[in-house]
Structure 1
Amino acid sequence: MKSHETYEPRIPRRSARHAVRGVDYQVNEWGDQGLPLLVILHGFNDTGASFQFFVDALVKNWFVIAPDWRGFGESRFRAQSYWFPDYIADLDVLLDLYSPRDPVRLVGHSMGANVAGLYAGIMPERVAAFVNIEGFGLPESDPDNAPAHYRRWIEKSREMQPFSTYQDFAQLAQRIRKRNPRMDADKALFVATLWAAEEDDGTVALRTDPSHRLPNPVQYRRAEATACWAKITAPVLVVKGAESNFFAAATDHAGPNEIDALAAAESVEIPGAGHMVHFEQPVALAAAVEQFLS
């Protein structure tokens, strides 16, 4: 790929910096601040800026913000390992900055949808609507596995393993397309330049903090997540990629009441999309989100 083959954004993106609970945060912004606010929360090892294709596909005029979670994209690293509830508290600070009085529309993908789902139940008065894109939680953990789980975390912490490096952005773009085969080549190269930075030797390295490779020392507690979801009062749209197995996997490890709750929400399946719906079918995703929010 050549540099001129990269995607050209339709709506320019701005970068804002905010101090959020001791971390220097990058928040990606599009549109006039006087427009209706739409908050996008990215998934693991992604960045807020990669929702550019989705933003460009929106028909209505919005003020869109998409933070890079701590340790991802261009937000700063932490000195120690990451704790999942930090994302929830970070989100609360960001919403106070951008919408201190009015409840907000949250659009979360994968990990970002899990953060948004917890927040929407913990602070229901702060959420006007919630779009859950492929974020259905993890299987309930077995407490008997805790000793081995903690041991694995300790052992992995002793020597941090870096992410793989790439010859250039084109090589990373090829890897992105391999995982997202319905993604356009120019979009893959665009995302590669967001996910990674060029090193002094000309190679390309992911911006993500290597500490994110560590397993979470605390096992997932699905029952606690379910209790939070039950407190959501905002309307919810569940978005599934037709080629993704995430929802099918969720039904395998969820209880009947959880599936009933998901079924009660409005849902849409996007044809020709895997897990990264905003990469492969941004136009269809934008249409579904705007129809729901209208």
Structure 2
Amino acid sequence: MTSPYTPHRTARSEYRTIRGLRYHVQVWGAAQGAQPPLVMLHGWMDVGASFQFVVDALAQDRHVIAPDWRGFGLTQAPGADCYWFPDYLGDLDALLDALAPGQAVDLVGHSMGGNVAMIYAGVRPERVRRLVNLEGFGLPETTPDQAPARYAKWLDELKTPMELRSYDSLDAVAERLCKNNPLLRPEFASWLAPHWAQPAEDGRWVILGDPAHKRTNPVLYRKEEVLACWRRITAPTLWVEGDRTNLAQWWGERYPRADFEARLAVVPRLRREVLSPAGHMLHHDQPEALARLLDDFLS
């Protein structure tokens, strides 16, 4: 097994009751300081600790807050049949009230977290000083005629318990992380593995994610509603993507790049950057380069 990465800045775990759930939050640095809190939101099947490499590479010792979303990491799962996107907005709003009351924060979101951050910044523009979206592309546009089939698929999936694959060792978890992302450094994978999984009673390692996350969401993605929120963003916004990311790898022809470009065009005060070489997990692939961008943009 490769020796795990050694963090330069130590995180502490805090737990808060957020909307009835026991929420786990990774916190770096002290709350005092001239700069506002830096809040970092992870993506689907990830955890707040995933930002450790970027936090270590920041030039300044920022006060950083990175929650595990509901049903991920060490945050309690709601025990629901599936997850509803508005709940992430509700959780974020309550978290900011608890951890940064009355403050405008610097908000960074990756993938799913980027989608949450963008909508939140349009709904609560006074709460966001600077906004960074790391490949939160949104989803393919849907039409009302898709609703019957979507509901039927959801009902069918409710009849069968969802499961996540388990692993026989931490090494196997780290190997899976590297397989998912060939650019991931082995020492990063070894460090991430115990944050991404935990041992079960049978000794196998299970992913720290509620299997219900895999179920189809019966609610259609309404692009125009999302864009109405994006248009109301007042914070300077930084979009960052990896040069190896290809929308077609997830959605084929259902979500053309031109569609995304048209969506991003509605965001006021937008700056764009591309990291290389980097894929979707750009905070793992290029943490030092990403940290330099954040230092410059958030200064």
- CA drift of 1:8 comes to 1.2
> Is 1:33 aligned to 2:31, yes or no?
yes
Matching residue of 2:61: 61
Question: Which residue in 2 is equivalent to 1:174?
Answer: 175
Tell me how far 1:257 sits from its aligned partner: 4.4
* TM-score normalised according to structure 1 size: 0.95
Q: Deviations over 1:72-101 (max 9, x none)?
A: 000001121211100001101111112212
What is the aligned partner in structure 2 of residue 143 from structure 1? 144
Report if the CA contact (8 A) 1:136-1:247 is conserved.
no
**Residues of 2 paired with 1:115 and 1:247: CA distance?**
22
1:122-161, Cα deviation, whole Å (9 max, x unpaired): 0111110100000021111121111111111111111212
Q: Distance in 2 between matches of 1:30 and 1:247?
A: 36
Confirm whether residue 183 of structure 1 aligns to residue 184 of structure 2.
Answer: yes
Are 1:22 and 2:23 matched, yes or no?
no
User: Alignment RMSD, CA only?
Assistant: 1.8
The question of whether the paired residues in 1 share the 8 Å contact of 2:230 and 2:267 is answered with no
Amino acid at match of 1:27: V
Report the counterpart of residue 77 of structure 1 in structure 2: 77
Instruction: Using the TM superposition, give the Cα deviation of residue 252 of structure 1 relative to its aligned residue in structure 2, in angstroms.
Output: 2.9
Which portions of structure 1, spanning 4 or more consecutive aligned residues, are displaced by more than 4 angstroms?
Answer: 247-251
Amino acid at match of 1:89: G
Separation (CA, whole Å) in 2 of partners of 1:113 and 1:107: 7
Which amino acid is 1:82 matched to? Y
**Alpha-carbon distance in structure 2 between the residues aligned to 1:255 and 1:9:** 36
- How far 1:175 sits from its partner (Å)? 1.4
CA–CA separation in structure 2 for the residues paired with 1:44 and 1:257 = 24
Q: Where do 1:60-139 residues align within 5 Å? A: 60-80=60-80, 81-139=82-140
TM normalised by structure 2 equals 0.93
- 1:267 aligns with 272
Contact 1:240 1:247 survives alignment (8 Å):
no
Deviations 1:14-69 (A, max 9, x none): 00001111111001101112133100000000000111111111111200000000
The one-letter code sitting in structure 2 at the alignment partner of 1:86 is: D
CA distance in 2, matches of 1:247, 1:227: 25
Report the 3-state secondary structure (helix = DSSP H, G, I; strand = E; otherwise coil) of the residue aligned with 1:261.
coil
One-letter code aligned to 1:19: T
Assess if the C-alpha contact under 8 Å between 2:130 and 2:298 holds in 1: yes
Quick one: structure 1 residues 14 and 256, their matched pair in 2 at CA, closer, same or farther if it must change by over 3 Å? closer
Q: Which runs of 5+ in 2 are unaligned?
A: none
Summarize the Cα distance change of 1:10–1:93 in structure 2 as closer, same or farther, 3 Å threshold: same
CA displacement at 1:247 relative to structure 2:
9.6
**Aligned with 1:13 (options 11, 14, 17):** 11
Question: Does the 8 Å CA contact 1:237/1:268 hold for their aligned counterparts?
Answer: yes
Report the counterpart of residue 230 of structure 1 in structure 2: 231
- Asked if 1:221 is matched to 2:222, the reply is yes
Contact in 1 for aligned 2:167/2:204 (Cα 8 Å): yes
Amino acid at match of 2:68: D
Cα 1:9–1:255 shift into 2, 3 Å: closer
**Number of equivalent positions:** 292
Alpha-carbon distance in structure 2 between the residues aligned to 1:290 and 1:246: 28
Moved more, 214-223 or 261-270: 261-270
Q: Structure 2: how far apart are the matches of 1:239 and 1:255?
A: 14
Once the 2 structures are TM-superposed, how far is the Cα of residue 279 of structure 1 from its aligned partner? 0.9
Percent identity of the aligned residues?
44
Shift in CA distance, 183/257, structure 1 to aligned 2, threshold 3 Å: closer
Mapped partners of 1:49, 1:69: distance in 2: 12
